[in-house]
Amino acid sequence: MARTGKDNDTLFLGIVGLLAWVVPGGGHFLLNERKRAVVIFVTVILTFVVGLYIGSIGAIDPVSAKPWYVAQLMNSPIVFFLGQISTSGHFPVYGRAGEIGQIYTSIAGLLNLLCIVNAVYTAHLRGLDEARA
């Protein structure tokens, strides 16, 4: 993908970062790192789903567990909608199951945040390499 100019690089980095957030591994997929993208997707989604299985959707609590919720939001925008569903009160969760579910889903989000940063940084380095060539 030929890019020229600082504006195009910024736009491309933004697209890579946004895609990496919307679909875990999507930024790496856009950069033609297919195997890494699949590993990231499976790891983040599996960790998140295990957290939901352990703690139910009630583990996503945007009202009384805001720090956990912010970390969970790094998974994907879908977490926002799951948070809206969980605030309806139909999915109460108590005790260790809820805490462990919060931990798993938050760790998945923070892991995805690392992958987002890596995808944007990799795209940035490739842009510099193209500029030097």
DSSP symbols for 23-40: STTHHHHHTT-HHHHHHH
- 92, part of any domain: yes
Question: Count of CB atoms within 10 A of residue 63's CB?
Answer: 9
Whether residue 100 lies inside any domain: the answer is yes
> With 50 as the cut, is the pLDDT of residue 21 above it?
yes
Residue 1 in domain: no
Taking the C-alpha atoms of residue 47 and residue 86, their distance in angstroms, rounded to an integer, is 19
Return the structure tokens found at 120: 């944007």
* Residues 65, 102 contacting (CB under 8 angstroms): yes
3-state secondary structure of 5: coil
The total domain count for the chain is: 1
Specify the pLDDT at position 104: 96
Q: What is the pLDDT of residue 38?
A: 97
**Which pLDDT belongs to residue 130?**
67
Of residues 48, 51, 36, 99, the one with CA closest to residue 75: 48
pLDDT tens for residues 60-115? 988 888 999 999 999 999 999 998 888 877 777 777 888 899 999 999 999 999 99
pLDDT at 108: 97
pLDDT over 80 at 37, yes or no = yes
Residue 102, domain member (yes or no)? yes
Given a cut of 50, whether residue 3 has pLDDT beyond it is no
**Residue 16 covered by a domain:** yes
User: 110 and 68 in contact (C-beta within 8 Å)?
Assistant: no
> What pLDDT score does 87 carry?
83
Expressed as residue numbers, the domain containing 100 is 6-132
**Does residue 47 lie in a domain region?**
yes
Place of tokens 């690392």: 114
What is the rounded CA–CA span in Å between residue 123 and residue 113?
15
pLDDT exceeds 50 at position 7? yes
Q: Using CA atoms, how far apart are residues 120 and 17, in angstroms rounded to an integer?
A: 6
pLDDT reported for residue 31: 94
Q: Tell me, what's the pLDDT at 23?
A: 96
Residue 71: inside a domain: yes
106 within domain boundaries: yes
